[in-house]
Structure 1
Amino acid sequence: MAPADHLAASALDDVQHAFRAAMSHVAAAVSVVTVLEDGVPHGTTVSAFMSLSMEPPMMLVSLDARSSLLTRVRLGSRVGVNVLADGQSPVATRFATKGGDRFAELAWQVEDGAPALRERHAWVALDVDRLVPAGDHVLVLGHVRAAETGTAHPRPLTYWRRAFGTHS
């Protein structure tokens, strides 16, 4: 590696470290994104999702390019976004961990064509319209087909400074 390349790599490492630290200071809602493939539920924990448009209703979900869930998401797929409630950090941790049956001993059902956790803060079902590569992630853009809020869990689960919590 040439000295200039080393300096560039070192500067990039510094920026990545600083960016990671800065983003840890931004509170984000936590969700479990799900798909159904051949009758089997699959899901992963995500904190990068947002409403994209109200006319028409659209949502954006960011999935790691190495995510096993991403291999099951295709154009036209139905995707569920289970926004987690305060107190559901064990669920977030379970779906962030690789391997095993993440849905085992967890109450869920198919709702609007996607796996839905029975306990959640909010729910959105969407049809995938576009998959956009973006760095080490893929942006999943979809048209919202169903949405609801829960009343049993009034506070969302958030992730801030590398820890789960809530907003009050």
Structure 2
Amino acid sequence: MTLRRDRTSITPMGSRRIEPTEFRNVLGHLPTGVVVLAGTTTRGPVGMAANSITSVSLDPPLIAVCAARTSSTWPLIQREQRFCVSVLASHHEQVSRKFARSGTDRFAGVRWHHRATGPALDDAIAWLDCELVAEHDAGDHTIAVARVVDLASAQDGRALVFFRGQYGRFVPADLDQPRRENA
């Protein structure tokens, strides 16, 4: 079998219509981290939950985040061209749900502090200060590429993860198994 390099001329062989629900369910088998993207506007802080985030480049340090085109929050963050990513800790399930809901004050009752690029959740496990460098249309989402201009992390804590439609926490494999002495 020969790999075709000309991506513009590829036609799906034997393709079928993949329903969005099926696509979400199958990709739900890939655990993802959960973050809050937050920026500061003239009206105050704005933020949204996301789990479509990934490292893109080490040099320069770049990340990509994907925001639904239907998001009313992403355009507010995008307009400022800067945002802070707070990597949520395992106890942040309710915070994630709150930042995923529309029509509510997402910051009410949530402890946060200012960083150079926007609000950061106080007890997150990591923070990335980002400046938007590019956006790309991608179906029903926008892929935003951002340069990381500063970052920090907590010394301890477990990450909140999303897997098969449920929240959980990451436990390293060596902590999941009983320790054997002198193994």
User: TM-score range with shorter-chain normalisation?
Assistant: 0.7 to 0.9
> Counterparts in 2 of 1:77-116, with a 5 A limit?
77-116=81-120
Measure, in 1, the Cα distance between the counterparts of 2:43 and 2:20: 40
RMSD: 1.5
Shift of 1:72: 1.2
Shift of 1:25: 0.8
Measure, in 2, the Cα distance between the counterparts of 1:101 and 1:152: 29
Q: 1:160 aligns with which of 155, 159, 163?
A: 163
- In structure 2, the gaps of 5 or more residues are 1-15, 172-183
How far does the alpha carbon of each residue in 1:28-83 deviate from its partner, in whole angstroms, 9 at most, with x for none? 00001111101611011100001110111111111111111221133771111111
Give the structure-1-normalised TM-score.
0.87
Amino acid at match of 1:164: Y
Q: How many residues align?
A: 156
Amino acid at match of 2:35: S
Higher strand share: 1
Give the structure-2-normalised TM-score.
0.80
Partner residue, 1:6: none
The answer to whether the 8 Å contact 1:33/1:81 transfers is: yes
Report SS of the residue matched to 1:73.
Answer: helix
Identity of aligned residues (%): 27
- Detail structure 1 runs of 4+ shifted over 6 Å in the superposition: none
Measure, in 2, the Cα distance between the counterparts of 1:39 and 1:61: 23
Residues 76 and 52 (structure 1), Cα distance of their counterparts in 2 relative to 1, 3 Å cut: farther
How far does the alpha carbon of each residue in 1:84-143 deviate from its partner, in whole angstroms, 9 at most, with x for none? 001110000000011111001111121122111101011101100011111111111111
Report SS of the residue matched to 1:74.
Answer: helix
**Which protein has the larger Cα radius of gyration, Structure 1 or Structure 2?**
2
